[in-house]
Chain A
Amino acid sequence: MDEKLSLQEWIGLAEQKNMSFGEFCVDLQARELEIEQEELLGRMEAILEVMEQSIESGLSGIKSMGGLVGGNGKLVDNYRREQPRESIVGHVMSKAIMIALAVGEANASMGRIVAAPTAGASGTLPAVLFSLAEARGCSRSELAKALVVAGAIGMVIASRATLSGAAGGCQAECGSAGAMAAGAAVELYGGSPDQVGQAAAMTLKNMMGLVCDPVAGLVEVPCVKRNVGAAAGAMVAAEMALAGIKSVIPVDEVIDAMAAVGHVMSCSLKETAQGGIAVSPTGLAWAKKIFVSS
């Protein structure tokens, strides 16, 4: 078995070498994969394209396999256009909400998406990346570099904990996606390697203990809207980190805590549809309806 990865170690090395975390991660991962940095970034840019297509697909008004989701991304899209002054969260975050919903809905309709880190959490990273890219005027290659940062954070979480809802609950899927997105956001805004780690830690702490309780066992309810929550959590954590706020508990320890919490979580709350809202009266009624008619 491989030795556990450490985000703190990578952050320390990046700071030592006076590199942005993005530069450090691109350099490290290119060497690990034995490819040129240009190739790594090129592959990430191709992934960005698939993400964009999935946003479009989600906004086109599809309906999911179970029929529980579809159309909410479009609602936010219309709301942004028709009532631009009514936004509570502001233009940037409302775009993130729209994207998270759209990609989540594309996923639930057996559309083509990028699992980053998983399909159930596939809306979070594009939501944060594309909404901030527009706000900040980021280039494609800056976005690609931010994706590498996100990937590096995800690798550490996979190594120390888990990225799977069945093993760790939604804190492991959307929580991880949020932590990855928070780090990527800090990178896009020119934050330091340390700030990347702080943002990831603070996001995970705010998602600690989040259960996986999917209605009818599908990846629809509450999954699609949880991607929104994770994106929002990532953005507030990134903001705090950029303001200089530090997580009292260092990021590797937060990840380990998430792993430990996942272990003691009841199986009924880990993607078995046997707890939480999956067993609410309405949730159970949906399960009955969907599986009787299939």
Chain B
Amino acid sequence: MNIFDVIGPVMIGPSSSHTAGAVRLGKLALAILGEPVREAVIGLHGSFAKTYKGHGTDLALAAGIQGWTTDDARIPKSFEAVHKAGITISFKTINLGDLAHPNSVKFWLTGINGNTCKVTGSSIGGGRVFINNIDDFPVEFSGEFPAILTMHNDRPGAIALVTSILSSHGVNVAQMRVFRKQKGGLAVMIVETDQPVDDAEVEVISQLPHIESVRRIQLG
């Protein structure tokens, strides 16, 4: 957390958690999908579900999945842009259970190239957000740092290969987490870095053995 999380963000109101946080969650979901959205089903949980109309949460989520920033003056009219872009969007109330943060959302996204993803995240206050689940992998990712997300086969050395590419390009790892659903199966790795990872590095990583996919996630 830095001081500009407290003094800031500059945003379209009315709510840092229900509006600005929602924009950021949408943006992160878009980045996780890795391509423009064609269809979005968005489930709202808890306080998000009860108060979304009045906070413009739905408008904000629609803005976020189009990659807009929290202070984009078009946010009150984001549905019009969604329709113009040919994106199908729908909202529903969901129950993520008692342990979920009261401001949580689950995205089911389909991209223009057919990619899909499921992303669950929470807006924890002051515009800060956390992604808790990607495609049924539990994760803990704030979007505060640039990050790369890889899906890889859980084999010895898979992680070391990725981190050695990063270190050889002078990219320092701030935080990293690895999750797997079962031993030897598919695993997900989120590496948060001090410096942004560039196209060349992403390309090299994507060519590594055991790496199924890699994408860059950045809240611009």
Binding site for B on A (CB under 8 A): 2, 29, 32-33, 40, 43-44, 47, 50, 64-66, 106-120, 122, 147-148, 150-152, 154-155, 158-159, 162-167, 172, 180, 214, 216-220, 267, 270-273, 290-291, 294
Contacts and interface: CB of A to CB of B under 8 A. Distances in A.
A217 B51 contact: yes
Contacts of A166: 17, 47, 102-103, 125
B126 A118 contact: yes
Closest 9 CB pairs of A and B: A164-B125, A217-B51, A107-B13, A154-B6, A219-B14, A218-B54, A151-B3, A115-B16, A118-B16
A5 to B, nearest CB: 9
Q: Is the interface of B mostly helix, strand, loop or mixed?
A: mixed
B55 A217 contact: yes
Contacts of A109: 13-14
Contacts of A148: 3, 7
A43 B4 contact: yes
A155 B1 CA distance: 8
A167 B126 CA distance: 11
A109 B14 CA distance: 7
A163 B6 contact: yes
Interface stretch (B70-78, B153-161, B203-211): B70-78
Chain B contact patch, size range: 35 or more
A164 B126 contact: yes
Nearest to A33: B2
Contact of B53 (A158, A270, A294): A294
B102 A272 contact: yes
A11 to B, nearest CB: 17
A218 to B, nearest CB: 4
Interface centre among A29, A119, A167, A216 (most CB of B within 10 A): A119
B50 A272 contact: yes
Contacts of B76: 110
Interface in B1-23: 1-20
